[in-house]
C-alpha cells in the first residue's frame, strides 16, 4: 500500500453495482477506487498492473470466467492484491471455491457500508473477514465433515442437477465416465442417498449446491 491510502479495483458486470460500491467506498478517507472491471478477465489483467491493494470481486459474470477462477488467477501472482468477494450468493457451492481460490474476505451485497469498508481495511492487512451467515455455515460444515463435498464433487453434482448425463459431465469436466461414476458413488455415501435425484435434493437442502 502507498501510505495509508488503500487502492481498490471493483470487478462486477453490473454498472449500477459498480457505481454503488464506488459511491460507498469513496466516502471513506483512506479508500480510493482506481479502476473498475466488467469481466473476470479484465479484473485479472488490471490487478496485475501493480497499483491495486484490494480487489472487490463478484462471483458470477455473464459468460467467461467466474469470480472464483479470477480470484485464483489474481492471487497466484507474487505480491498480488487481496481479493474481497462481494456477492449475493452464500451457498457452499459458491463460498468454498472462492475461499479455496484465495479470497481474503467474503461478504454479501446487503452488508452495511461500514462492514464493507472495515472488511476492505482488514483484507488489506492480510486478515480474513467472513459475513456472519458464511462463517456460521462454514462452522456447521466443519462440525459435519462427513457431508462436506470436495470441489470436484460439487462440480459433478451441480451438473447432475442441470440434467447432464455421466458422459456429458465427463466431457464438460474432462473426466472419464468411470471417474464421474466414482465421484457420484462418494457423493451418495456422504449424503446418505441412493439416487441422483435424492443427491441433488439433499445437497440443495444443505446448501451444498445452488439450483
Q: What ranges do the domains of the chain cover?
A: 6-141, 145-206
Question: Of the candidates 25, 151, 141, which has an alpha carbon nearest to the alpha carbon of residue 86?
Answer: 25
Question: Could you tell me the three cell numbers for 198?
Answer: 435424492
DSSP state, 32? E
pLDDT tens string, the chain, 211 residues long: the values are 445 899 999 999 999 999 999 999 999 999 999 999 999 999 999 999 999 999 999 998 988 899 999 999 999 999 999 999 999 877 767 787 888 889 999 998 888 999 999 999 999 999 988 888 777 767 666 566 566 788 889 999 999 999 999 999 999 999 999 999 999 998 998 888 889 999 999 888 877 887 6
Question: Of the candidates 92, 37, 101, 43, which has an alpha carbon nearest to the alpha carbon of residue 68?
Answer: 101
Question: CA 28 to CA 63: how far, in whole Å?
Answer: 33
Question: Which pLDDT value is given to residue 144?
Answer: 60
First CA to last CA distance, the chain? 40
Question: Which pLDDT value is given to residue 167?
Answer: 94
Question: Which pLDDT value is given to residue 206?
Answer: 79
CATH 1.10.238.10 fits 145-206, yes or no: no
Neighbours of 139 (CB within 10 A): 11
Question: CA 1 to CA 17: how far, in whole Å?
Answer: 25
Cα distances (Å, whole numbers) of residue 43 to 11, 136, 172: 6, 29, 25
CATH 3.40.50.2300 fits 6-141, yes or no: yes
pTM score: 0.68
Strand ranges (DSSP E) for 43-180?
A: 54-57, 82-87, 105-108, 129-130
Amino acid at each position: 500500500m502507498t501510505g495509508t491510502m488503500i487502492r481498490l479495483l471493483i470487478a462486477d458486470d453490473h454498472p449500477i453495482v459498480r457505481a454503488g460500491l464506488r459511491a460507498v467506498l469513496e466516502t471513506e478517507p483512506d479508500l480510493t477506487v482506481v479502476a473498475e472491471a466488467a469481466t473476470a478477465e479484465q479484473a485479472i489483467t488490471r490487478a496485475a498492473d501493480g497499483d491495486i491493494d484490494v480487489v472487490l470481486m463478484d462471483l458470477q459474470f455473464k459468460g467467461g470466467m467466474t469470480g472464483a477462477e479470477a480470484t485464483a488467477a489474481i492471487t497466484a501472482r507474487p505480491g498480488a492484491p487481496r481479493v474481497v468477494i462481494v456477492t449475493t450468493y452464500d451457498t457452499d457451492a459458491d463460498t468454498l471455491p472462492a475461499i479455496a481460490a484465495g479470497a481474503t474476505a467474503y461478504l454479501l451485497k446487503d452488508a452495511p457500508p461500514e462492514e464493507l469498508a472495515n472488511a476492505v481495511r482488514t483484507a488489506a492487512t492480510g486478515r480474513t473477514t467472513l459475513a456472519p451467515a458464511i462463517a456460521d455455515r462454514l462452522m456447521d460444515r466443519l462440525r459435519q465433515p462427513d457431508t462436506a463435498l470436495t470441489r470436484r464433487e460439487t462440480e459433478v453434482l451441480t451438473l447432475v442437477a442441470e440434467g447432464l448425463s455421466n458422459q456429458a459431465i465427463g466431457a464438460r469436466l474432462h473426466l472419464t465416465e468411470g471417474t464421474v461414476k466414482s465421484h457420484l458413488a462418494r457423493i451418495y455415501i456422504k449424503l446418505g442417498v441412493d439416487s441422483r435425484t435424492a443427491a441433488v435434493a439433499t445437497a440443495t437442502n444443505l446448501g451444498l449446491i445452488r439450483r
